[in-house]
A and B are shown apart, each in its own frame.
Chain A
Amino acid sequence: MMRAALEEPIRGGARWSYVFGSGLAFLVALQAITGIALSVYYVPSSDHAHASVAFIQKAVPAGALLRGLHHYGASAMVVLIVVHLAQVFLFGAYKTKRELIWVTGVVMLLITLAFAFTGYLLPWDQAAYFGTKVGTSVAGEIPIIGEIQRRIMLGGSELTTLTLSRFFTAHVFLFPVALLLLIVTHIFLFRRAGAAGPFHHREDHRVESFYPRQMLKDAVFMLALFVALAALALKWPADLGPQADPSSDYLARPPWYFLPLFQLLKYFPGQLSLIPTVLLPGALFAALFLLPFADRRAERHPFRRPIATGILALSLAGTVGLIALSKYEDRANKEFSTRFKEQEEASRAFLKSKFEPQVIGQVLAATPGVGVAPTSFGENCAVCHGDRGEGADSAPSLIGITNKPNRTPEDLLKILNDSRTYGLKEPMPASFDLSEDEKRQIVEWLKKLK
C-alpha cells in the first residue's frame, strides 16, 4: 500500500500547484494533534472553560504555541480549502470521473465551517459568547424548522453551559469522525480516478510518480505552513478576552470567514434577511454540489470556459470585497471603532495579565449593594473580620473604616504591608503575602463598605 501510495502516477509531472490537497491533509492532522493536546486541560463547562483556556494560554509550557497552532490552523484550513476548490474549479478538474471527488470536497468545506463555528465558542470569552449568540440566532431565522433547530443547537432556549457541552461534543467527536470518513473517501476516489493533470494536456505523455518530486514539493509546503502558523502563534498569541459576561453590552462580530454573511445581513432588513442567511448560502452550495453534473463539457481550459471562470472571479472578489467593506464600515463608524478599540484593549490586557487560578468552592456571604469580598479578603481576612467585614469577637468591624482617623485607603494599604507601625497587635498579622493588585482590590472593596 505504501508503495502504491508513493508510486501514484502523476500525469504531466510534479507541480507546485498540486500542493494544496496535501497541505489540507497536513492541517487536518495538525488540528487533530493540537486539539487532542488542548483537551488535556480544557473543561467544557461554562463556569470553568475560560479559566482552563486561560491556564493553557498563560501558564502551561508550550500552551500558547499549541493553542495558537490550533487557532490559526483553523483559519488556514478555511483559506486553503477555498484555494483548493477554486483551483479544481479553475482547472476543470472536477469533470469526467471526478464528480464525487468534488462533491466530497464541498461537503468537507461545510464541515470545516461547522468545526470553526463550534470551536469558536469553546474559550467562552466575550467574543465567543456574543459571536455565537448572534450566529445561533441567525440559524433560528430559517422558516418553520428555524426555532426547533436553534433549540437543538443550544440545548434549550438560551446559550448556556449545555450549549458549550454540545458544541464540544460536535467539535471533538462528531465532526472529526465525519471528516475522517470523507477524507478517506475523497483520497480513495482521487487515487482511483488518478490526478487530472494540466488542463492544456500538452504534457500528458509525461508521467511521473508521486515520490519523490511531488512529495518533496508537498513536504516543503507543509513545512512552510507549519513555520508560518508557529510564527503567528508565538508573535501574535491567539486571542483570549475576559470571561463571557452575559450582562455586558459587548459589541459582537463574527470571525472573519463569516463576515461576508454578516455584511450582507445589513442590506436585507426584516423578512428579507432570509436572502443572505438562507437563500444565498443555500443557492451557493446547491450550485457547488451540482456543478460537475451540470457542466459536462470536456473542455477544461479556464480561458475557454469564460462563464465558469468569470463566476469564480466574481464570487471570490465579492467575498473579499464584503469582508473588506465590513471591516471598513466598522472602522469608519466612530462609535463602533471606539468600542472595538476598548474591547481589543481589554482583551490585550487580559492576555497580558498574569494567570490567576479560578477560586472554586469558597463560599463568601455578599453585602447587599456592595457584593462579595475579593477572594484575597476571603482567604486572609474573613476568618476574623467576617465575610462581609462585619467583625467578630477577635477582630473589629471594618464597615465604614475609611471614614475613621488614620484609615484612609492609603493607610489601609500600608497596614496590609506592615500593621505594627499602626500599633495593631496580635492576632492581626504583621503583614500579608499578597500582590499589589490583591491589596488594592481589598482596599477598593473596603471603601464601599458603608
Chain B
Amino acid sequence: MNFETKTSGISDTPEAPDKASTTVERRSFLGVVIGGITSGIGAALALAIGRFTVEPALADSKTEQWVDAGQLTDIPEGKPVKRAMTIVQEVGWGRFHEPGSVWVIRNGEAITVFSAVCPHLGCSVNASAKGFICPCHQSSWDGAGAKTGGPTPRNMDTLEHRIENGALLVRYQSFKQGIAEKETV
C-alpha cells in the first residue's frame, strides 16, 4: 500500500502547506464528531439491550400460590409423607404447569407442611429415620424440622396451609437460600 501521502488530511492541494495548523484542528474536530456519532449509536444499543436482558430478570417472580396437596385422609399419622402437586409458574413467554412437592407430617389434627427445598443450596430434602436429611451436603433436621446438623443455615421452611372440604391446600412459596432468616424470594 502507498502511505506516502497521508499525514495530513488532504495532500497535493495547493493550499495545504500554509493551512497546516487549521487542518490539524479540523481533523481533531471531525474526530470528535465521529467519536460522538459512534458512541451515541453504541450507547443507544447498549441501553436497549441492557433493559432487554436485565429488567425481566429483576422483576418479581410469581411462585406464590395456593395448591391442592390431595385429600387429608390419604396422609398417614406420624411419619413424613411427600405430596406431589402441580405448581403454576409464569416465566417469560409461558405459564408452566410443573410438578412440585412438599413434605407433610400429620399428628392427629396438627398438620405441618415443609418446603422440600433445602434452605442451604436448594437440593431436594429426603425423609430419614430421625426426620429429614439433605443428600447433597448432609444437612439434617428432626421430625419437627429443627436443624440438627450439617451446613444448613436454618430450620426447614414451613408452608402455610388450610383444610377445605377434606383437602389439604398449601401456600406454595420459595425462600432465599443460604441465609439464617426465612425470607421469601
Q: How far is the CA of A394 from the CA of B71 in the complex (A)?
A: 13
Chain A nearest CB from B17 CB (Å) reads 15
Taking the closest CB of chain B, its distance from the CB of A212, in whole angstroms, is: 4
- Range of interface residues on B (Cβ < 8 Å): 35 or more
Q: CA of A55 to CA of B93 in the docked complex: distance in angstroms?
A: 5
Q: Which of A174-188 contact B (CB under 8 A)?
A: none
Are A226 and B93 interface neighbours, CB within 8 A? no
Interface: B10 (CB within 8 A): yes
Interface positions of A from 355 to 406, Cβ below 8 Å from B:
357-362, 375, 379, 383, 394
Docked-complex contact B10 and A208, CB < 8 angstroms = yes
CB-based contact A223/B165 at 8 Å: no
Q: Which residues of B are found within 8 Å of A33, using beta-carbon distances?
A: 45, 49
- Contact call A9/B5, Cβ cutoff below 8 A: yes
Q: Check B27 for interface membership: any CB of A closer than 8 A.
A: yes
| A361 to B90 alpha-carbon distance, docked (Å) | 12
Residue pair B6, A358 in contact (C-beta under 8 Å): no
Surface stretch bound by A, among B28-36, B112-120, B155-163, B175-183: B28-36
Q: Which residues of B contact A207 (CB under 8 A)?
A: 5, 11-12
User: Which one, A61, A211, A375, A427, contacts B164 given CB within 8 A?
Assistant: A427
Are B94 and A219 within 8 A (Cβ)? Answer: no
Asked whether A48 lies within 8 Å of B6 as measured between CB atoms, the reply is no
A222 in contact with B41 (CB, 8 Å): yes
Question: Which B residue's beta carbon lies closest to that of A67?
Answer: B52
Interface pair B53/A37, CB less than 8 Å apart: yes
Given contacts A33-B49, A37-B52, contact A9 B2 (CB under 8 A): yes
Give the residues in chain A near B1, CB-CB below 8 Å: 4, 8-9, 191-192, 194
> Which residues of B have CB within 8 Å of A43?
93
- Once the chains bind, are A220 and B94 in contact (CB under 8 Å)? no
- With A9-B3, A216-B34, A427-B164 already in contact, the answer to whether A60 and B56 are too (CB < 8 A) is yes
Query: Does residue A205 face the partner (Cβ distance < 8 Å to B)?
Result: yes
The contact sample of 29 A-B pairs, CB cut-off 8 A, is A7-B3, A7-B6, A9-B2, A13-B10, A37-B48, A48-B94, A55-B92, A60-B56, A61-B55, A62-B49, A62-B51, A63-B52, A66-B48, A66-B52, A192-B1, A207-B12, A208-B11, A209-B5, A209-B6, A212-B9, A212-B34, A213-B9, A216-B30, A216-B33, A357-B92, A357-B94, A358-B94, A358-B95, A362-B97
